Amino acid sequence: MNRLLVSILCFLAALSIGQPYSSVYANDEISIQSESAIVMDAKSGDVLYEKNANEQMYPASITKIATAIYAIENGNLNDLVTVSERARNADGTRVYLEEGEVVTLDKLIKGMVINSGNDAAIAIAEHLNGSVEAFSDEINDYLKEVIGVTDTHFVNPSGLFDEDHQTTAYDMAQITQYAMQNQTFRQIFQMKELPWDGESWDTTIINHHKLLIDSSFPYVTGGKTGFVSESGHTLVTTAKNDWIDVIVVTLKAESSRIAYNDTISLLNYSLNGFETVSIEAGTKYEVNMDQQYELKDELSYTKKRQEVIEELIDESGELSIIGEGERLIKKIALSIVEKDDEKPVEQTVKANGLTGQYSIVLMLSFAMALFLTGYFFLDVRKM
């Protein structure tokens, strides 16, 4: 029986050493009804939740997030734009521009984002690239080459339905993450209302995103709604607290109530459960006392709040951020630096191939082996 026990312990120790890392958060903690959704950490880019996030969907008016950041980066906000007949006759939601009306690009972007004006979107596209068609070609190149999305193709600036106008929840989160790095975009995206003095419409336009204008949700920092019958209800929401900034995208909800309920659930899940951690650029690590490595750029990652994290570095200088349950959070190759004995190492993590929890497992296994060896030795002496 003793020998059987030893065999079992050795087998379990070997299993614990060889377990692979898992990088997936458990999505069974939350259930939503929208057909596709994602939660992304706006700083680290880590995905905290996803449901069919890479499935192509019709985005409807959340398309205007892409149009807005493209216009901000490629146009002059003080430009005067003359409204065309095509813009004047746009279908769907409008800010009631008149043909020949002259409006600044800045005002058009605000009218497009806050009131979802399709006429403003067309006027922007024609001003920037001459036509909606030319704009579509240019923004698709921009989305791929500048932002880096791979599964998005837009054929208009507004999101009105077209079979070829598609994106994914993941791509929309990436587009929003990129856009939120721009101060002008952030200021517009968080606007709750705007006095509108147009040729044929004098009013105050109110943001369509209910969570943004509801004082019950002070952590919401921006958002865009969308709906056409083919897309269902789509929603992009940004929010932040003291621990984390997040982007929530929900696509193809059967009703606006479902879209908002799903978004609230995902906001509660992410804002209450996670935090962003950053490692400063220039942090140095030491391996076996004979080699130093350096983190060239700041590294941000997301972890569960109160989660114990390990920073492990192997002989090749690859840094792994490991969470509980052997979950691989992030891995990055460090740069070799010449060791300077006169300069102290700001931060060191020593490695011998196996570190952290692995070292603990090995030490426990070794201690157990010594204990059992002594036990058997005494047992034999008694015989």
Tokens of 192: 């709750």
Tell me the backbone φ, ψ of residue 15, rounded to 5 degrees.
-65, -45
pLDDT band at 372 (very low <50, low <70, confident <90, very high): low
Share of the chain above pLDDT 70, in %: 80
Q: What is the pLDDT of residue 287?
A: 79
Q: What is the pLDDT of residue 62?
A: 98
* Buried/exposed code over 2-31 (b: 16+ C-beta within 10 A; e: otherwise): eeeebeeeeeebeebeeeeeeeebeeeebe
The pLDDT mean for the chain works out to 86
Residue 1 has pLDDT above 50, yes or no: no
pLDDT band at 14 (very low <50, low <70, confident <90, very high): very low
pLDDT band at 18 (very low <50, low <70, confident <90, very high): very low
Tokens of 283: 């942090």
pLDDT band at 74 (very low <50, low <70, confident <90, very high): very high
pTM (two decimals): 0.82
Q: What is the pLDDT of residue 352?
A: 35
Q: What is the pLDDT of residues 120-137, one digit of tens each?
A: 999 999 999 999 999 999
Length of the chain: 383
Contact assessment for residue 194 and residue 59, using Cβ atoms and an 8 Å cutoff: no
Lowest mean pLDDT among 74-78, 237-241, 341-345: 341-345
CB neighbours of 365 closer than 8 A, spacing ≥ 6?
A: 9, 10, 13
Q: What is the pLDDT of residue 337?
A: 81
Strands 335-337 and 245-253: unpaired
Structural domains in the chain, CATH included, are 2-22+280-368 (no CATH), 31-275 (3.40.710.10)
Q: What is the pLDDT of residues 274-283, one digit of tens each?
A: 999 999 998 9
Residue 3 has pLDDT above 90, yes or no: no
Query: For residue 125, which of 115, 114, 140 has the smallest C-alpha distance?
Result: 140
Residue 227 has pLDDT above 70, yes or no: yes
pLDDT band at 346 (very low <50, low <70, confident <90, very high): very low
Give me the mean pLDDT over the 167-195 stretch: 98
Active site residues: 61, 64, 116
Contact assessment for residue 2 and residue 379, using Cβ atoms and an 8 Å cutoff: yes
**Which residue has better confidence, 282 or 363?**
282
**Which residue has better confidence, 375 or 250?**
250
Q: What is the pLDDT of residues 24-71, one digit of tens each?
A: 455 557 889 999 999 999 999 999 999 999 999 999 999 999 999 999
Task: Count Cβ atoms below 10 Å from residue 289 Cβ, excluding itself.
Answer: 9
Q: What is the pLDDT of residues 263-275, one digit of tens each?
A: 999 999 999 999 9
Give me the mean pLDDT over the 334-363 stretch: 50
Residue 356 has pLDDT above 90, yes or no: no
The number of helices, as runs of H, and strands, as runs of E, in the chain is 11, 17
Q: What is the pLDDT of residue 355?
A: 37
Residue 88 has pLDDT above 70, yes or no: yes
pLDDT band at 286 (very low <50, low <70, confident <90, very high): confident
